[in-house]
Amino acid sequence: MRGDSRYDMLALTTEDEALLRHCEMCPRRCGTDRFTMMGFCRAGADVEVSSVNLHYGEEPPISGHQGSGTIFLTHCNMRCIYCQNFPISQQGVGNSYSMEKLVAAMLSLEERGAHNINFVTPSHYAVHVKCAIISAKERGLRIPIVYNTSGYDAPEAIEMLDGLVEIYMPDLRYFDGTHAKAYSDAQDYPEISRQVVRMMHEQVGDLMMDEKGVAQKGLLIRLLVLPGRISGTVETLRWIAENLGVNTYLSVMSQYFPAHKAHDNPPLDRRISRDEYAEVLDAVEKLGFERGYIQPTF
């Protein structure tokens, strides 16, 4: 069972273990003893991994020309009814990794030429990620760490990662809590995500790249445009402009398609329209954003 953890005790301090014994590592703060039971995210004391590989489909400065070293983590602290990765996030597809195996995977990705180590959906594994980064860097890891998150992170977790994560890549998924509750069971997502994105920006600043256009440090915000203006992306763009500045790098994504339970929940049962995406791009231009990436339209 999950109480019989294979987590490497040499990498787990007494303080780290205490955090998992009464887990408040995400905004759910469910207080679960992850050595004996599962909380909202359904993750135990072991870190579980769905896949480890070079990924070429991230934003250009993340994938670069050699690929991003992605580590897809199993489970999630959100319940998005349209999740495109629901077998991993909500059905638990993945395998338990010891800390030794996780660190070895990071070092192997670097040896294979990865531009970075990209932890995907890490919020509920912040303790494990912290320990893995420290151990990997002690063993010679030199490439940047990417924290690729939904944005639903506990402020304490982001504070804990200060100085360990070079690149933050959060979503800002919703502007309105009613929509966040209805479609992701996360009423407080808007205020939480905006708080932690501020913290991320304070830690690493605007995205910086090397002479080859590969990201080395900074913040890249993902904005997934949802049908029916559910995401409130235009309002979120105004918030970014006012609070982080128009030099912030954005990834404005048109890639939404109905998945998981979306087919039974209009307007999520369709792709976004040309007009919906154009409205967001018009706001990007009018607000003065010039840094970032858009996707082809349909």
Which pair of tokens denotes residue 114? 């990865």
- 174 in Cβ contact with 230 (< 8 Å): yes
For residue 9, the model assigns a pLDDT of 40
Q: 70: which residues sit within 8 A by CB, 6+ positions away?
A: 51, 52, 53, 54, 55, 58, 118, 120, 148
Cα 47 from Cα 7, distance rounded (Å): 8
Q: What is the pTM of this model?
A: 0.94
For residue 253, the model assigns a pLDDT of 97
How much is the average pLDDT of 122-146? 96
The ranges assigned to domains in the chain are: 14-294
How much is the average pLDDT of 117-130? 97
Is the pLDDT confidence value at 235 over 70? yes
How much is the average pLDDT of 73-78? 97
Q: How far apart are the first and last CA of the chain?
A: 46
Q: What angle do CA 119, 170, 121 make, to 5 degrees?
A: 35
Band of pLDDT at residue 296, cut at 50, 70 and 90: confident
User: Is the Cα torsion angle 254, 289, 157, 116 positive or negative in sign?
Assistant: positive
- 103 in Cβ contact with 136 (< 8 Å): yes
Q: Which helix (H) or strand (E) holds 209?
A: strand 208-209
Mean pLDDT of the chain: 94
How much is the average pLDDT of 281-285? 98
Over residues 34-51, the pLDDT tens digits come to 999 999 999 999 999 999
Band of pLDDT at residue 11, cut at 50, 70 and 90: low
Beta bridge pairs of residue 294: 252
Is the pLDDT confidence value at 12 over 50? yes
Is the pLDDT confidence value at 257 over 70? yes
Is the pLDDT confidence value at 8 over 50? no
Three-state SS for 267? coil
Over residues 177-201, the pLDDT tens digits come to 999 999 999 999 999 999 999 999 9
Is the pLDDT confidence value at 298 over 80? no
Is the pLDDT confidence value at 130 over 60? yes
**Least trusted range by pLDDT, from 5-19, 94-108, 212-226:** 5-19
Max intra-chain CA distance, the chain = 55
- Among 4, 26, 1, which residue's Cα sits nearest to residue 128? 26
For residue 7, the model assigns a pLDDT of 39
Over residues 204-231, the pLDDT tens digits come to 999 999 999 999 999 999 999 999 999 9
Beta bridge pairs of residue 249: 220
Cα 155 from Cα 200, distance rounded (Å): 10
- 55 in Cβ contact with 118 (< 8 Å): yes
Q: On the CB side of 140, how many CA atoms lie within 13 Å of its CA? A: 6
Cα 120 from Cα 49, distance rounded (Å): 10
Q: 91: which residues sit within 8 A by CB, 6+ positions away?
A: none
Over residues 82-97, the pLDDT tens digits come to 999 999 999 999 999 9
Cα 218 from Cα 22, distance rounded (Å): 31
Domain 14-294 has CATH 3.20.20.70: yes
